[in-house]
Amino acid sequence: MFTSEPDGRTPKGQATRARILEAALGLFASKGFGATTLRDIAAEAGVSLGLTYRYFRTKEDLVVVLYGDVAKRVVANLPRLPKGTIAARFAALVEHKLRILTPHKEPFAALLVAALDPSSKASVLADASSEIREAMRTAFRALVDGAEDAPAEGSEAVALTLYAAHLLLLLVWVHDSTPAARRTRDILTAMRDAIAFARPFLAAPGALAALERACTTLAPVFWKEKSR
């Protein structure tokens, strides 16, 4: 179940907010994101539309909260990542995120359309989710910096590369119909092995500089600040 973080509301208010989130997840799975309205979500949660508006002005706002809940749980798990290589820690972080998402795979698959729509507030690269991406930036930087083979320089570029790779894997996961998402986990294993294989090459002359140049182009897409 997705949780509501304490934000000054009463326990009853927190429970209502969590119920609205759960109702939305169920409707996104059964009806799809585009066909679901806030009125539908309010009815499913057993609350008035006006009360729903107190918590979420749009259904896109609700989606951003769902993204944020996942990010907070990933960050909270950072101290429990293995004290090993970048490759091993990457695999552990992604596996943990998959465990969080798996009970809600159908609604998150339904959200994929909005997540990839650049005009949607619910887009994973929208300004509304910039704080969430910043939390994930912190997580992936901690993943790299806490590894036994962390590079002396270029941690930011490595972290961004791994973040982009994990987003591609999640795209595979939402379409993966194999039992227990076996195909996704096979790809994750292959990614782990590829990272382990590639890590020594960062020490080659010019390799890190080339990665940093590529990430200089990518960084504004993923890490951009909120519009003012």
The reported pTM is: 0.83
* Separation between Cα atoms, residue 124 and residue 165, nearest integer Å: 14
Task: Give yes or no for residue 208 having a pLDDT over 90.
Answer: no
**For the chain, domain boundaries:** 11-57, 60-223
Least confident of 49-58, 179-188, 190-199: 49-58
* Assigned CATH for 11-57: 1.10.10.60
For residue 226, pLDDT over 50 is answered with: no
Q: For residue 41, name the pLDDT band (cuts at 50, 70, 90).
A: very high
Rounded-to-integer distance, Cα 223 and Cα 125, Å: 9
Token couple for 33: 């994101």
CATH 1.10.357.10 is the classification of domain 60-223: yes
Kindly report, residue by residue over 48-74, the tens digit of the pLDDT.
999 999 999 888 888 888 888 888 999
Residues 176-194: what's their mean pLDDT?
96
Q: Return the higher-pLDDT residue of 225 and 161.
A: 161
Q: What is the pLDDT of residue 113?
A: 65
**Three-class DSSP labels, the chain:** CCCCCCCCCCHHHHHHHHHHHHHHHHHHHHHCCCCCCHHHHHHHHCCCHHHHHHHCCCHHHHHHHHHHHHHHHHHHCHHHCCCCCHHHHHHHHHHHHHHHHHHHHHHHHHHHHHHCCCCCCCCCCCHHHHHHHHHHHHHHHHHHHCCCCCCCCCHHHHHHHHHHHHHHHHHHHHCCCCHHHHHHHHHHHHHHHHHHHHHHHHHCCCHHHHHHHHHHHHHHHHHCCCCC
Query: pLDDT (tens digit, 9 = 90+) per residue, 73-132?
Result: 999 999 999 999 999 999 999 999 999 999 888 887 777 766 666 666 666 666 666 778
